[in-house]
Amino acid sequence: MKPSNARTKSAAVRLRLEPELKEQATRVLAGSGLELSIAIRLFLRQVVAQNGLPFELRPNAATLRAMEGAKSLKPRFSSAQELFDALEKGAQRKRRKASPKKRLRKKIA
């Protein structure tokens, strides 16, 4: 039996991405003396070391506009219970509006 080596690479990752992105990234990384697979390994090591993404995610312009729009919305309910009561009332209205045939079918079933 061969001794096991904790550094043995045995897990494979398959990645589907646009060919142009792969070519551009490969070119940029080659300028730093890195191969794509090594850069991906470095990225994953940093994810583990940082316990998350190793960089800050910033929202784009559309997301920022949506966030600003959401801030201006006024809540329609003052509490979660009020929301649940309204949902229940809406469900009751739908049940009352069901046609007599539908109600009859429900009773038979």
Domain boundaries, the chain: 17-57, 79-109
- Give the integer Cα–Cα distance in Å for 36 and 24: 11
Given this model, what pLDDT does residue 35 score?
A: 96
* C-beta neighbour count of 46 within 10 angstroms: 13
Structure tokens at 106: 């429900």
What is the value of pTM for the model shown? 0.51
pLDDT digits (tens, 9 = 90+) for 26-66: 999 999 999 999 999 999 999 999 999 999 999 999 999 99
